[in-house]
């Protein structure tokens, strides 16, 4: 709670202690003094900073994040349009990273010090080292421009129309509407950016999984499980992976931060109308309410994700449950 208030204050103060002048950034080349005055008044920029902060809190409690100077719409509305697009991308990407990262980490641990282990180690280091924006460009050049396997950006083909709005996530909405062709089209557009976003997290998850699995494998009960003749599959999935899961889950908070960082870059390259692109555009135009809204939203989600991770940890590891 204290953290949330702190986040609001920080995102507000950061975006309002500006040497840059939002009026100048938004009104074009040579605004007249009266134009600037009207702009400042309309956006509440003529009041002292503490008053602005107080008003911001009051409005926030009413669900009002202010009006974007760039789009002219309420920031809350802009966010509600952008969030599903990013959520769809982020969730898909984290799922991909989890499948490959946990799989690779498990294999690396089971074949410790072997060739497979070494190759996977290099792969995971490549994953965390490759610049996301560069990977995106290379993938676009090869898979879209040269080979035409994947579309070159945006959420749907121009010939397709968005499914009726339920969640805002096109794949889910298309399924709900029973429009299979739209679903495949949306998925087709989603996969490449999601895989690129997954690269860093895949590397991270491989390392964490490997270390968690190795730690579990040292325990006597694993040896006992093997000794009593359980099948390899039961030991690996039922005993080893099950016990390693709590440590793996703790990385998801970190993975989320990675995805948001990557989203700013990837959404801009793939013209994906999500939070990353919105935040970037509002930061280049000094759209203060929008920037404050975006950083507030991301910080809150980050706190929520970490809370969920804590809860999940408790579910997976009964020892840490508080009575």
Partner 1 sequence: MSTASEAIELPARYRRLPRVHPALRRPLAVTGAAILAIWVLVAIFAPLIAPYGPDVLGNSLSAAPSSAHIFGTDQLGRDVFSRVLYGARISLPISALLVLMSLTIGSTVGSLAGYFGGVVDGVIMRIVDLVFAFPAIILALVVTAVLGPSLQNAVLALVVVSWPTYARVVRGLVMSASQREYVQASRLLGASARQTLLRDILPNVIGPVVVLATLDFGNAILLLSGLSFLGLGAQPPTAEWGAMVSYGTQYFQDWWMSTFPGLAIFSSVLALNFLGDSLRDALDPHGSWTTRGGRR
Binding residues for partner 1, rule: CB under 8 A, are 2-3, 6-7, 10-11, 14-15, 17-20, 112-114, 121-122, 125-126, 128-134, 137-138, 140-141, 145, 200, 207-208, 210-211, 214, 254, 257-258, 260-261, 264-265, 268-269, 279-280, 283-284, 286, 291, 294-295, 298-299, 302-303
For partner 1, the closer of residues 139 and 186 by Cβ is: 139
With left for phi above 0 and alpha for psi between -120 and 50, is residue 322 left, alpha or beta? Answer: beta
DSSP output for 138-203: HHIIIIIIIS--S--SSSS-TTS-PPP-SSS-HHHHHHHTT-HHHHHHHHHHHHHHHHHHHHHHHH
For partner 1, the closer of residues 186 and 244 by Cβ is: 244
Contact indicator for 94, 198 with CB cutoff of 8 Å: yes
- The CA distance from 204 to 254, in Å, is 9
Shortest Å, Cβ 185 to partner 1: 23
- The CA distance from 61 to 84, in Å, is 22
Distance of CA 192 to the CA centre of its chain: 15
Shortest Å, Cβ 180 to partner 1: 32
For partner 1, the closer of residues 7 and 187 by Cβ is: 7
- The CA distance from 77 to 232, in Å, is 53
With left for phi above 0 and alpha for psi between -120 and 50, is residue 168 left, alpha or beta? Answer: left
Contact indicator for 43, 21 with CB cutoff of 8 Å: no
Shortest Å, Cβ 181 to partner 1: 29
Shortest Å, Cβ 131 to partner 1: 5
For partner 1, the closer of residues 170 and 208 by Cβ is: 208
For partner 1, the closer of residues 145 and 237 by Cβ is: 145
For partner 1, the closer of residues 95 and 304 by Cβ is: 304
Shortest Å, Cβ 32 to partner 1: 24
- The CA distance from 70 to 286, in Å, is 9
- The CA distance from 267 to 48, in Å, is 36
Q: Which residues contact 144 (CB under 8 A, 6 or more apart)?
A: 150, 151, 152, 192
Shortest Å, Cβ 133 to partner 1: 5
Shortest Å, Cβ 184 to partner 1: 26
For partner 1, the closer of residues 80 and 129 by Cβ is: 129
DSSP output for 1-62: -HHHHHHHHHHHHHHHS-SS-HHHHHS-S---HHHHHHHHHHTTTTS-HHHHHHHHHHHHHT
For partner 1, the closer of residues 37 and 302 by Cβ is: 302
Shortest Å, Cβ 36 to partner 1: 19
């Amino acid at each position: 709670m204290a953290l949330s208030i702190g986040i609001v204050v920080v995102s507000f103060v950061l975006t309002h202690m500006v040497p840059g002048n939002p009026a100048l950034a938004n009104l074009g080349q040579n605004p007249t003094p009266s134009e600037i005055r009207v702009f400042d008044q309309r956006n509440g920029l003529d009041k002292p900073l503490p008053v602005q902060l107080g008003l911001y809190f009051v409005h926030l409690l009413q669900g009002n994040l202010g009006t974007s100077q760039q789009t002219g719409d309420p920031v809350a509305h802009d966010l509600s349009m952008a969030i599903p697009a990013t959520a769809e991308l982020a969730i898909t990407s984290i799922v991909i990273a989890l499948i490959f990262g946990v799989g690779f980490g498990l294999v690396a641990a089971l074949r410790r010090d072997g060739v497979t282990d070494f190759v996977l180690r290099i792969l995971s280091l490549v994953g965390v080292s490759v610049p996301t924006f560069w990977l995106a460009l290379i993938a676009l050049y090869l898979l879209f421009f040269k080979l035409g396997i994947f579309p070159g950006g945006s959420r749907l083909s121009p010939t397709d129309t968005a499914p009726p709005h339920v969640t805002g996530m096109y794949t889910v909405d298309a399924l709900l509407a029973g429009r299979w062709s739209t679903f495949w089209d949306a998925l087709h557009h989603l996969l490449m950016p999601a895989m690129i976003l997954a690269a860093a997290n895949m590397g991270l998850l491989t390392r964490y999984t490997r270390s968690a699995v190795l730690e579990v494998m040292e325990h006597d009960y694993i040896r006992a499980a093997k000794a009593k003749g359980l099948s390899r599959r039961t030991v690996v999935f039922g005993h080893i992976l099950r016990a390693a899961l709590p440590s793996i889950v703790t990385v998801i908070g970190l993975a989320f931060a990675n995805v948001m960082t990557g989203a700013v870059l990837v959404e801009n390259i793939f013209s994906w109308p999500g939070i990353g692109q919105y935040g970037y555009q509002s930061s280049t135009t000094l759209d203060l309410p929008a920037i404050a809204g975006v950083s507030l939203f991301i910080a809150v989600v980050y706190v929520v994700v970490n809370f969920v991770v804590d809860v999940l940890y408790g579910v997976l590891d009964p020892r840490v449950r508080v009575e």
